[in-house]
Chains A and B, each alone.
Chain A
Amino acid sequence: MTAPSRIRNFSIIAHIDHGKSTLADRLLERTGAISERDMREQVLDDMDLERERGITIKANAVRIDYTAVSGDTYQLNLIDTPGHVDFSYEVSRSLEACEGAVLVVDASQGVEAQTLANAYMAIEEGLEIIPVVNKIDLPAADPDRAAEELAGVLGGTPDEVIRVSAKTGAGIDELLEAIIDRLPPPEGDEDAPLRALVFDSFYDTYRGVVSHVRIVDGSIATRDAIRFMATNLDVDADELGIRRPSTEVVERLGTGEVGYLITGVKQIDLIRVGDTVTHTRRETGEALPGYQEPKPMVFSGLFPTDGDDFERLREALDKLRLNDSSLVFQAETSRALGFGFRVGFLGLLHMEIVRERLEREYDLELVATAPSVAYRANLTTGEQVPVRSPQDLPDAAGLASIEEPYVKVMIITPSEFIGTVMELVQQRRGEMGEMTYLSPERAELHYRMPLAEIVFDFFDQLKTGTRGYASLDYEPDDYRVSDLVRVNILLNGLPVDAFSTIVHRDKAYTYGKAMVGRLRELIPRQLFDVPIQAAIGTRIISRETIKARRKDVTAKCYGGDITRKRKLLERQKEGKRRMKMVGQVEVPQEAFVAALKLET
């Protein structure tokens, strides 16, 4: 055990691509936690997807021993955090285990919206912040401007900003010293009853639930009888350990230390992130403040292409949930797609990652329906019902109003694109809030916008409109009544739930026309004319017809080439894309996928 005065717990906060993982790698290497030989990129990112996409999804903690210039040895606990907006709840959890944060900004890019959002979160948590400008080695780097911006945002001076290159190693020593000098040591009471914060947990097939804990008061030793206070679960601490980043078993974790705890518990819902661990024999009187459960923001139906895979999909979702408590799902039946699940996600990236993991790790072929946000329907009876899919929307007769979630949006953009951003946000029903200049060249814009407007390709359009320079962050605001309608898509007279959507009345026509046109291209000609219609209630707002297939025959058939003819038919049969029967109409899988990519 290390005396709390010799412990520093910190996170690195950075925008995607601003070099967080590389900086972490460099710190590990400089302190000898990992040899140059074992160095592979993004040491802390375990999941294949994390390394492939270059992002961090799950939090992670690693202990570093560092001998300072003063000659004293310190225990540094680096708690890694996700960078993407979808996972900001994971960030807040990680931050609670820290006293300080290293805020990294790319010297050529400057402050980004997410960096700022996370920095504000850290400041609210009372964390000490060390501003860092990274990538000073880049030719396009403008460290002075970036330092200027950082100082402006954090209310300090540019001199306090440390300039590093995680790539070349420049400034790393200075950063390590600043972590010792500027960040406060943990403040726990070593003699008080045990209070340990569970700030993350994951499921391991062999070990059961593995929890990351931060010891706030007291200490914990192997074989201690402990209690998880929220669930009143009494168990033994089977194993304690730390990562360096290789796993190392320890006998004891003391006040201020960070490590993992294994209890043999197999059910992840018994060990809640945010819970407090204490001793059963010497219980603390006061649990630590917990976390708010993350609420899913976006919903989508996931259906197996092959109806027989429904049970496999359920098992896969159950397994994913073990490591992702934010994932919620319930069984759903679609007339068009059969049996599947309505799944709630934190955002679009989260949705994409879950889909990809299901398809890749569980070998499932899936059809996903258009994403929808969580609406609320106010009934004429005064009752309020949640609407997580367009099908949940009650009939117009009993419907008083529909509410949709709004979010507070922060966009940071180069000044030259302010006009573009304003226009884009206006098209998306955004309301302008305040605007501040970070520097003469860059502005921070605040809006309130319906979440639904962000869910569909807003980010892509923002990036396109600002040549990639703008960044975006948002957080939930309130619900507001909006003039929303459900646009149904009818195929051969039958509404196809997978294509229907809830949109603002002003956009219903554009959506309907675009969807109908797209489907006409994607659905092959059938045995009969197939009308495709977009409708609001009984009112048809757009219509196209797929004309019946008239000719599908080889003109000539000789006795001689019957073998060839049969083989040709067999090939055509094989090559026929996998179709889903929707009523009497054969719809290729691509139609469902492409419908999601519809630009409105």
Chain B
Amino acid sequence: MSPEPESGIPDTQYSVLSTQYGDESPDSPVLAEAARSWRSAYVHIPFCARRCPYCDFAVVAADEAGGMDTRRYVDALVAEIDMEPDPSELHAVNLGGGTPTRLRPVDLARIIDSLDHRFGIADDAEISIEANPEDWTPAFARDLRRIGFDRVSFGIQSFDPAVLEALGRTHSPREAEQAIEAARSADFSNVNIDLIYGTPGETDESWRRSVDRAIELDPEHLSSYALTVEGGTALSRAVLAGAPAPDPDQQADRYEHVDEAARSAGLVRYEVSNWARPGHICRYNLSTWMMGEFSAFGTGTHDHRGGVRARNIRRLDAYLDRVEMGARPRSGSECLDEFDSERERFMVGLRLAAGVRPGSIGGPFVASDEGRRLVDAGVIGARGGRVVVLKPLLTDLVARSVLSVSPADC
């Protein structure tokens, strides 16, 4: 296999207006390349009712020390947004957490308004929010729709009460269904269901039922993640103490099942763990995977602007203090050189079903010993002048092999 050095697709051909790509398949290279030029913003809401045992995000649980002064935090977010030195129009906005739906609609409205005020939000921009089903009432859904949100991502994780309990989730399967109905009646155009597989105690049968029920609910978007044991979480402490760890082969089986079920329901896989109907990819995510530029606000966030990645302070009190002093709450930054950023683009791009433009690194990589072995083993291939991972469950293995390519090879 010898991929062409370039896809032959000039970047400037695309308008940033995403509506142009409404009919593109989620795994379309054209769509992916267009996403490079989308500008987006991420806002982190760290508050949760309680901390889930597997979660290692910057989160403050209601029962943890310090409590939740949500008002003060939103003030700080607005102040931080106003500090943005070089705003330009946004094509995607994402509120994540934590649990953004812990905020009242009025606070959410303040955040969107301040982004619009500082950056300008394009008319057809995607405005998305992560939600817990138990917070999501029909009235709340209507309020959010009025504020401008048109996409919601529900952390449903499973439809098996035992699995939900093991994951520390407080909603019931019924609440999950009601939440989705509420989003539909409030006219959300893109509803995502998040599922987690491989939870200890989950059976093949339980997983099949969860997938079936998720697909019956006919979401526009589906994310399905393997339960991952992150260091420092309650789950990792339990595993260290001898509790069963997720089994990789079992997780592979579950992945293959959900992939098959999603495909037969007309959902197209466009990233390792994400499926969507045409016109319903998550623009924010796609653009970050394509190394698009984005700003990020709130505790522990990272942004990517002009070749620099900067990260924010993770601790809530320190973040608040800094912003209230009128300073940007940075805790560090990283400037990538040309080779590093090219390699990063390539490695992250491997996660996309559309594959990745070879650029300067794809050729040497595919020609390397490790690259050739991966080709021979059918793990990677060439499609339409792009390098594509044919076995998405082995994407990290491929990415590590890319690390063997040195600037001298390119």
A interface residues with partner B (beta carbon < 8 Å): 527-528, 547, 549-563, 565-566, 569-570, 572-573, 576, 584
Cross-chain contact B373 with A551 (CB below 8 angstroms) = no
Within 8 Å by CB of A555, from B226, B348, B399, lies: B226
* Minimum distance in angstroms from A221 CB to a CB of chain B: 65
What are 5 A-B contacts defined by CB distance under 8 Å? A553-B392, A556-B273, A559-B302, A560-B302, A576-B400
Cross-chain contact B225 with A556 (CB below 8 angstroms) = yes
- Given A552-B396, A559-B284, 10 extra CB contacts under 8 A: A550-B252, A551-B255, A553-B394, A554-B396, A558-B288, A559-B42, A559-B302, A566-B344, A573-B403, A576-B400
The 7 closest A-B pairs by CB, nearest first: A559-B288, A560-B302, A550-B252, A555-B225, A527-B377, A552-B397, A555-B226
Check B379 for interface membership: any CB of A closer than 8 A. yes
- Once the chains are docked, how many angstroms separate the CA of A558 from the CA of B42? 11
B309 (CB) vs chain A CBs: closest residue: A563
- Once the chains are docked, how many angstroms separate the CA of A527 from the CA of B288? 29
* Minimum distance in angstroms from A131 CB to a CB of chain B: 60
Q: Which of B290-339 contact A (CB under 8 A)?
A: 292, 294, 296, 301-304, 309, 311, 334
- Once the chains are docked, how many angstroms separate the CA of A292 from the CA of B397? 58
Chain B hits for A551, CB < 8 A: 226, 248-249, 251-252, 255, 393-394
The verdict on A562 contacting B399 (CB below 8 Å), with A527-B377, A551-B248, A584-B373 known, is: no
The verdict on A562 contacting B344 (CB below 8 Å), with A551-B252, A553-B272 known, is: yes
Cross-chain contact B403 with A570 (CB below 8 angstroms) = yes
Chain A hits for B289, CB < 8 A: 557, 559
Q: Which of B249-291 contact A (CB under 8 A)?
A: 249, 251-252, 255, 271-273, 284-285, 287-289
Check B228 for interface membership: any CB of A closer than 8 A. yes
* Minimum distance in angstroms from A276 CB to a CB of chain B: 58
- Once the chains are docked, how many angstroms separate the CA of A92 from the CA of B404? 56
Cross-chain contact B302 with A554 (CB below 8 angstroms) = no
Chain B hits for A561, CB < 8 A: 302
B304 (CB) vs chain A CBs: closest residue: A559
The verdict on A569 contacting B42 (CB below 8 Å), with A553-B396, A557-B348, A560-B302 known, is: no
Cross-chain contact B248 with A528 (CB below 8 angstroms) = no
Chain A hits for B396, CB < 8 A: 552-554, 569, 572
Check B222 for interface membership: any CB of A closer than 8 A. no
Chain B hits for A572, CB < 8 A: 396, 400
- Once the chains are docked, how many angstroms separate the CA of A549 from the CA of B398? 13
Interface string of B378-409 (1 = CB under 8 A from A): 01000000000000111111011001100000
Cross-chain contact A549 with B42 (CB below 8 angstroms) = no
- Once the chains are docked, how many angstroms separate the CA of A407 from the CA of B251? 57
Chain A hits for B301, CB < 8 A: 560
The verdict on A559 contacting B394 (CB below 8 Å), with A551-B248, A570-B403 known, is: no
Chain B hits for A554, CB < 8 A: 228, 396
Cross-chain contact A560 with B288 (CB below 8 angstroms) = yes
Chain A hits for B252, CB < 8 A: 550-551
Within 8 Å by CB of B395, from A527, A528, A553, A573, lies: A553
Chain A hits for B302, CB < 8 A: 559-563
Q: Which of A549, A553, A561, A573 has the most chain B CB within a 10 Å cutoff?
A: A553
- Once the chains are docked, how many angstroms separate the CA of A559 from the CA of B394? 20
- Once the chains are docked, how many angstroms separate the CA of A552 from the CA of B397? 6
* Minimum distance in angstroms from B130 CB to a CB of chain A: 12
A550 (CB) vs chain B CBs: closest residue: B252
Chain B hits for A573, CB < 8 A: 400, 403-404
Chain A hits for B292, CB < 8 A: 559
Within 8 Å by CB of A550, from B249, B348, B374, B376, lies: B249
Chain A hits for B248, CB < 8 A: 550-551
Cross-chain contact B288 with A549 (CB below 8 angstroms) = no
Tally the A-B contacts, defined by beta carbons under 8 Å: 97
Cross-chain contact B347 with A566 (CB below 8 angstroms) = yes
Chain B hits for A555, CB < 8 A: 225-228, 272-273
B interface residues with partner A (beta carbon < 8 Å): 42, 225-228, 248-249, 251-252, 255, 271-273, 284-285, 287-289, 292, 294, 296, 301-304, 309, 311, 334, 344, 347-348, 351, 373-374, 376-377, 379, 392-397, 399-400, 403-404
Chain B hits for A556, CB < 8 A: 225, 228, 273
A586 (CB) vs chain B CBs: closest residue: B373
- Once the chains are docked, how many angstroms separate the CA of A566 from the CA of B249? 24
* Minimum distance in angstroms from B391 CB to a CB of chain A: 8
The verdict on A549 contacting B304 (CB below 8 Å), with A559-B288, A562-B344, A563-B334 known, is: no
A564 (CB) vs chain B CBs: closest residue: B302
The verdict on A562 contacting B273 (CB below 8 Å), with A552-B393, A555-B225 known, is: no
B399 (CB) vs chain A CBs: closest residue: A569
B273 (CB) vs chain A CBs: closest residue: A555
Chain B hits for A570, CB < 8 A: 403
Q: Which of A528, A547, A559 has the most chain B CB within a 10 Å cutoff?
A: A559
Chain A hits for B309, CB < 8 A: 562-563
Chain B hits for A550, CB < 8 A: 248-249, 252, 393-394
Q: Which of A547, A561, A566 has the most chain B CB within a 10 Å cutoff?
A: A566
Cross-chain contact B394 with A549 (CB below 8 angstroms) = yes
Chain A hits for B294, CB < 8 A: 559
* Minimum distance in angstroms from B30 CB to a CB of chain A: 20
- Once the chains are docked, how many angstroms separate the CA of A584 from the CA of B377? 10
The verdict on A527 contacting B379 (CB below 8 Å), with A554-B228, A561-B302 known, is: yes
Chain B hits for A558, CB < 8 A: 285, 288
Chain A hits for B376, CB < 8 A: 584
- Once the chains are docked, how many angstroms separate the CA of A547 from the CA of B250? 13
- Once the chains are docked, how many angstroms separate the CA of A557 from the CA of B226? 12
Q: Which of A527, A551, A561 has the most chain B CB within a 10 Å cutoff?
A: A551
A556 (CB) vs chain B CBs: closest residue: B225
- Once the chains are docked, how many angstroms separate the CA of A573 from the CA of B404? 9
A570 (CB) vs chain B CBs: closest residue: B403
A548 (CB) vs chain B CBs: closest residue: B377
Chain B hits for A527, CB < 8 A: 373-374, 377, 379, 394, 397
- Once the chains are docked, how many angstroms separate the CA of A416 from the CA of B373? 60
A552 (CB) vs chain B CBs: closest residue: B397
Q: Which of B226, B252, B400 has the most chain A CB within a 10 Å cutoff?
A: B400
Cross-chain contact B228 with A559 (CB below 8 angstroms) = no
Within 8 Å by CB of A552, from B273, B296, B303, B394, lies: B394
- Once the chains are docked, how many angstroms separate the CA of A317 from the CA of B248? 46
Chain A hits for B374, CB < 8 A: 527
Chain B hits for A553, CB < 8 A: 272, 392-397
* Minimum distance in angstroms from B254 CB to a CB of chain A: 10
- Once the chains are docked, how many angstroms separate the CA of A528 from the CA of B404? 21
- Once the chains are docked, how many angstroms separate the CA of A145 from the CA of B251? 69
- Once the chains are docked, how many angstroms separate the CA of A549 from the CA of B394? 8
Cross-chain contact B403 with A569 (CB below 8 angstroms) = yes
Within 8 Å by CB of A560, from B42, B351, B392, lies: B42
- Once the chains are docked, how many angstroms separate the CA of A547 from the CA of B236? 26
* Minimum distance in angstroms from B157 CB to a CB of chain A: 12
Chain B hits for A576, CB < 8 A: 400
Cross-chain contact B251 with A528 (CB below 8 angstroms) = no
Chain B hits for A559, CB < 8 A: 42, 284-285, 287-289, 292, 294, 302, 304
- Once the chains are docked, how many angstroms separate the CA of A565 from the CA of B42? 18
B376 (CB) vs chain A CBs: closest residue: A584
- Once the chains are docked, how many angstroms separate the CA of A552 from the CA of B389? 12
- Once the chains are docked, how many angstroms separate the CA of A572 from the CA of B284? 29
Chain A hits for B399, CB < 8 A: 569
- Once the chains are docked, how many angstroms separate the CA of A562 from the CA of B348? 8
Chain B hits for A563, CB < 8 A: 302, 309, 311, 334
- Once the chains are docked, how many angstroms separate the CA of A559 from the CA of B292? 9
- Once the chains are docked, how many angstroms separate the CA of A550 from the CA of B377? 12
Chain A hits for B273, CB < 8 A: 555-556
- Once the chains are docked, how many angstroms separate the CA of A299 from the CA of B301? 61
- Once the chains are docked, how many angstroms separate the CA of A557 from the CA of B334? 18
- Once the chains are docked, how many angstroms separate the CA of A576 from the CA of B287? 32
